[in-house]
Structure 1
Amino acid sequence: MTLPETALPGETRENSRPGAEWWRTAVIYQIYPRSFADASGDGVGDLPGVTSHIDDLQALGIDAIWLSPFQRSPQKDAGYDVADYCDVDPLFGTLADFDDLIDAAHSRGIRIITDLVPNHSSDQHEWFQQALAAAPGSPERARYIFRDGKGEHGELPPNNWESVFGGPAWTRVVEPDGTPGQWYLHLFDSSQPDFDWSNPEVREEFRRILRFWLDRGVDGFRVDVAHGLVKAAGLPDYTPDPDAGSMGGDAADVPYWGQEGVHEIYRDWHELLAEYDGDRALCAEAWLPTVDITAQWVRPDEMHQAFNFAYLETPWDAAALREVIDESLRAYPAVGAPSTWVLSNHDVVRHASRLALTAENPQGHGIGPDSPGQPEPVLGLRRARAASTVMLALPGSAYLYQGEELGLPEVIDLPGEARQDPTWFRTGGERYGRDGCRVPIPWQADAPAYGFSPTGRSWLPQPAQWAPLARSAQVDDPASTLSLYRTLLAARRAHGLGAGALQWIDGFGDDVLAFRNGDVTVISNIGPTPVELPAGEVIAASEPVTGGVLPADTTVWLRSA
């Protein structure tokens, strides 16, 4: 079970018990601040906007909030290009606004996890500006990965690495004397130079950054690109699989993902967090080829959680889901960690659309009006509700992405001139990128910008048909997706499912996923044929269940006899 609402930072270590830490069972709600709620009226969400809806989040029933980046940034990559790690960007408010949010959340028993981006900074970061002004071989350049180019005059990049966002992963600088100079590595946009984590100065700076936010009361960090940071010695050439997801995850030995040296960094961070009361936690964003490899990031002296991307990427198929659930519940507990479960986030097509796609869609590519295999909205939402009802019954910790509790689909028809993801620009429009899952969410059906902003402004255009999906249109409707989520979260807590154990139930056929967790029986009909249900009280169902029959693409929770 989760710790009581009063067990928050400030309590002594004696209040915590190994194996009962809050992060083992928590439901954590991801907020993408620029798209959650805009209090200032400039069309971009902000921290006061989050605070203004803290009661709505408490009513939903979550345990913690994960905030995507809000630190000072030129916003070339929506805040994942950080210029100052220890300040709030004026776009989102002030440090005082952050403190207000921490206080409001903690007073309601909600913890706060902040994003940390250690692989790279913004090119506007003070350190990188110093590096550009310094000479090759200087201490200032040693904080980043600068190399001489190949070719007679250094005109070729140091190796053939490609950026995650498309195009080369190297950019050549102009030296202070005006001549073409060295190249710097950026696995993402050219405005995001990679740090050199072999440099002790970099390691000490991030210890300072961790302490800054821990001292302000944050309960943990979601670590961006946690499988990056360390690059293979010699920076050897590597050509990625064109069909693999953009953040890694293929089975090859990628020289910039999953290097052994990253584990030393997280062991150091683990020790630092352990100095603080309140079970502070680290969660890895690590796109790796298998569950077993990902589990290496959450060994007892490293991180506490890792996103279960293998689960997120599993198709709507009973056998495939059973396999990944089995693998997860074997691999993560084997190293003393909980499994996490996630279906959507700010980097992937929302699962209310993704589960109804009929064509391949690698992570990060996005979908647009010309993409093959367009989703069918009604089927997508039905499957999304059923999939969420499965996920929230699984033991471990679950992550929700803002708006999924409203059943929001991917926004497919964004005009090209409105798109802002670097992927769209660096691929010349070949990949639509991630804007479709980042459109500001609707609060009020009849308000400007659906209540996202008091002025009606919105940094990405919202679909004209979103009024029925607004929170105001769903909150009093017992059949709404919002009501379903509130029911599931309340029942998950009441029945202790996060701390439970899974036992499979066979005999329903190949298209059915059925298991027992404590006193709850979960049956999910993933096939086209209705399934006869055993007797039992219905606790929750993703669609109406009548006559003792479970329809297609529907999941039900029954109270076990």
Structure 2
Amino acid sequence: MRRSTHVATLDSLVDVPIADGGRRRPDADEATVDDATPSSHPGPPQFVAVNETIEDPNGNDQEDRDALAPRNPVADATYSWSVVDAPADSEATVGDDPIVGFDPDVPGEYTLALDADDGRHELTVRVFPPENEDDPRPRVELDADVVGEQVVLTATATTPPANSQLDPDIDVELYVDDRDRDALTDAGSVLSAAEIDEPVRIHAVAAGRRYSVADSIRLVPDGDSVSVERPYDPPSWLDDAVFYEIFTRRFPDQDDPTFDQMAEHLDHLDELGVDALWLTPFVDAYSSFGTDDDMGGPHGYDALDYFSVDPELGTMADFEAFVDACHERDIKVVFDLVVNHTSIRHEFFQAASDPDHEDHERYRDWYRWEDEDELVPDTYFGWSNIPNLNYENPEVREFVLSIVDFWVDKVDGFRCDVAWGVQHSFWKEVYDRVQSVDEDFLMLDESVPYFADFSEGEFHIHHDDRLHEALGMAADGDADAVLDAVERRANVGVPSYRPFLQYAENHDLDRFLAEHGRAAQMAAGAATFTLPGNPMLYYGQETGLEGYRDPMNWGEFDEELYDFYRSLVDARKSIPALGSDAGIERVPFYSESDRVLAFSRVADDQRVVVVLNFAEGSRTVRLGSYVETTDLLTDAELSPTERDDGLIEFEVETVAVLEADEPPATGPELDAGDSDDAREFDAEDGLAAVTGDDSTES
């Protein structure tokens, strides 16, 4: 991995533009807002390329989407957009609606103005040259310190680990958040830390052949100095958290499927070592109890009322008591926020789709339409019963924000369903909103496939659909795909401080056990606990349940399987080298099976080698003699054979975690057909193609 470090002082950002194209600083009275009134300002600076349009197209399944929008929208307010500054050759314009797209035509810096009832708000849009999406994206991390009296900013740009060359054109650009520029307008030529009397947000973006996801810090006055906060960092409780997903209406005993009865099973999760519980939707929904399995069972992803729980599960008080019971066991509760769509039977859609309804004109614009004349709703993947909401309507955003406000103080985090279907600008507003209530509140996205841009002040952790796919490939004979999936995270530009949710099973997928068999399911589960990221178990995965939405098999557990998963949880929490901050390396190994994988995990004071076997029955593995041969999972001795070539050979049934020394620079060669030469992982960033840390400073 290659690094480039850039240093600047805070006062250099005041009045002096960092990037080409220039911009004027807004007059001090342009965005004056009463402190008691939530501001309409559209948020942090936007970063795009010329070949990227800020838009929210209809009918594009799993496409990235965005819009420029006022925050804290009010249904009867007046909003209008304009371009007030742009590069000389630009002819770009914005529309007349309150929420608009933007199609920049030349690189440079643009200033857009949002005129609202609370004043004028200016937004910087930095536009980079056209990009080749096949090129890897750089990453950037921003920090600050007080040196003497000055605030010194340090931004470190890194190239993707699989790319052995530092992009010669890489640079870092720094921006004061448009909302905070007035806090610095009285500064002299040297801005001291003591002169900062209001919080100031700073953003950094690395740019070369491609531009990075932006990083951000917040400078907060602290006496005569400032403290530095990292608003995009995940909550500390996430570090080594083990997640558990339940299909809510199928988890409790089916003769009494209530919150009270679910609480009686929390000891099962506590004994397993679960830290965070994700519940599939439990609000009042059309697909409640009694929904046929061929319709997905009682999934709840088609809400009828976002502000009440399914009455068959209990009351709101019952749910709150369930949360309290979770908290007594130090288990966080994650709410499944489903706001890309509603049920087709929701009262709003009933009005929108019925021309004779008294509220038809109002609610017709609450939804997106494939054919508005015929009132055919826009949906994804043919999900005809869940029409998509229209986030270009301020009323919709206002309504959904009220849902966020209602639940944020009742749970510990949101898992956001179909996050890719909702605009980035909206998720940024939700992120800031929940963080202002609880800085430890978790944001988990379902973006499938995952997009790096959801890391930019939107979500703390992402579903890793690519790893799940790779686990299936390993079970079918391509174990190398697993490390390739881990490597992809950095190559697409996901910041190093963003973890991934790792799973072998979830409510949208056929059970790994049913698809690939018990041995492969155990190996896949072991992979999720030994690779960098947060492991998640889907209810019944640990007990041998085969139907992906079947009732939990209480009283019929596969006890051996349960003990296996308990050992994985224990290992994850007790072996430092398996922790979130530990690095990962490819290691040379040999096995005749293409369903076997080995890699190393590295912490400050510990190195382990993990061997996974996705095949039925044990397989022979050869490694260098730098590994110990006692399995840390079971304390069992592997009884290796020491070969004449200096390698050791042993059998692995499913998984082995072995203490190891640092491998020697040279050593015995493996037989023909061996894995590729070892490639070093950075301790935080994932796979690297080269050893070393060639750094430059500017």
Matched, 1:224 2:417: yes
Q: Who wins on radius of gyration, i.e. which is larger?
A: 2
Which residues in structure 2 correspond to 1:205-284 (within 5 Å)? 205-216=399-410, 218-229=411-422, 262-284=423-445
Which residues in structure 2 correspond to 1:297-336 (within 5 Å)? 297-299=454-456, 301-314=457-470, 315-316=473-474, 317-328=478-489, 331=492, 334=495, 336=497
Q: TM-score when scaled to structure 1?
A: 0.65
Shift of 1:488: 1.2
Q: Is the 8 A contact 1:263 1:297 kept in 2?
A: yes
Which residues in structure 2 correspond to 1:370-389 (within 5 Å)? 380-389=517-526
Which residues in structure 2 correspond to 1:5-20 (within 5 Å)? 18=233
- Equivalent position amino acid for 2:660 in 1: S
Tell me the alpha carbon deviations over residues 90-115 of structure 1, each in whole angstroms, 9 at most, x when there is no partner. Answer: 12221111101110111111100010
Distance in 2 (CA, whole Å) between partners of 1:50 and 1:334 is 37
Q: Is the 8 A contact 2:307 2:406 kept in 1?
A: yes
Selected match of 1:530 from 617, 620, 628: 620
Matched, 1:513 2:598: yes
Matched, 1:394 2:479: no
- Equivalent position amino acid for 1:501 in 2: G
**How many correspondences in the alignment?**
396
Distance in 1 (CA, whole Å) between partners of 2:334 and 2:540 is 18
Q: Is the 8 A contact 1:219 1:278 kept in 2?
A: no
- Equivalent position amino acid for 1:265 in 2: F
Selected match of 1:34 from 249, 254, 260: 249
CA distance change for structure 1 residues 330 and 493 in 2, over 3 Å: closer, same or farther? farther
Q: Is the 8 A contact 1:492 1:498 kept in 2?
A: no
Selected match of 2:304 from 64, 78, 83: 83
Distance in 1 (CA, whole Å) between partners of 2:330 and 2:320 is 15
CA distance change for structure 1 residues 547 and 226 in 2, over 3 Å: closer, same or farther? same
Q: Is the 8 A contact 1:352 1:381 kept in 2?
A: yes
Matched, 1:500 2:582: yes
DSSP 3-state at the match of 2:323: helix
Tell me the alpha carbon deviations over residues 373-410 of structure 1, each in whole angstroms, 9 at most, x when there is no partner. Answer: xxxxxxx111111121122012221221111112333x
Selected match of 2:266 from 47, 54, 57: 54
Shift of 1:201: 0.9
Q: Is the 8 A contact 1:340 1:397 kept in 2?
A: yes
Larger proportion of strand: 2
Shift of 1:333: 5.2
Selected match of 1:348 from 481, 506, 509: 509
Distance in 2 (CA, whole Å) between partners of 1:87 and 1:341 is 31
User: What is residue 113 of structure 1 aligned with on the other side?
Assistant: 334
Shift of 1:342: 1.5
Which residues in structure 2 correspond to 1:38-187 (within 5 Å)? 38=253, 41=255, 45-75=257-287, 78-131=299-352, 132=354, 133-134=356-357, 138-146=361-369, 148=371, 182-187=375-380
Matched, 1:296 2:453: yes
Q: Is the 8 A contact 1:65 1:113 kept in 2?
A: yes
CA distance change for structure 1 residues 83 and 62 in 2, over 3 Å: closer, same or farther? same
Percent identical among aligned pairs is: 30
User: What is residue 442 of structure 1 aligned with on the other side?
Assistant: 553
Structure 2 stretches lacking a partner, 5+ long: 1-226, 641-648, 662-698
Please say which of residues 206-215 and 139-148 is displaced more in the overlay. Answer: 139-148
Shift of 1:47: 2.1
User: What is residue 200 of structure 2 aligned with on the other side?
Assistant: none
Q: Is the 8 A contact 1:33 1:67 kept in 2?
A: yes
Distance in 1 (CA, whole Å) between partners of 2:491 and 2:260 is 41
Structure 1 stretches lacking a partner, 5+ long: 1-12, 155-180, 230-261, 357-379, 410-435, 446-469, 475-479
Larger proportion of helix: 1
Shift of 1:516: 2.3
Distance in 2 (CA, whole Å) between partners of 1:114 and 1:550 is 45
Distance in 2 (CA, whole Å) between partners of 1:32 and 1:16 is 34
Distance in 1 (CA, whole Å) between partners of 2:651 and 2:629 is 16
Alignment RMSD? 2.9
Distance in 2 (CA, whole Å) between partners of 1:545 and 1:126 is 64
User: What is residue 7 of structure 1 aligned with on the other side?
Assistant: none
Distance in 2 (CA, whole Å) between partners of 1:16 and 1:86 is 32
Selected match of 2:654 from 550, 554, 560: 554
Shift of 1:526: 4.6
User: What is residue 37 of structure 2 aligned with on the other side?
Assistant: none
Tell me the alpha carbon deviations over residues 480-502 of structure 1, each in whole angstroms, 9 at most, x when there is no partner. Answer: 11111111111211224123221
CA distance change for structure 1 residues 94 and 20 in 2, over 3 Å: closer, same or farther? closer
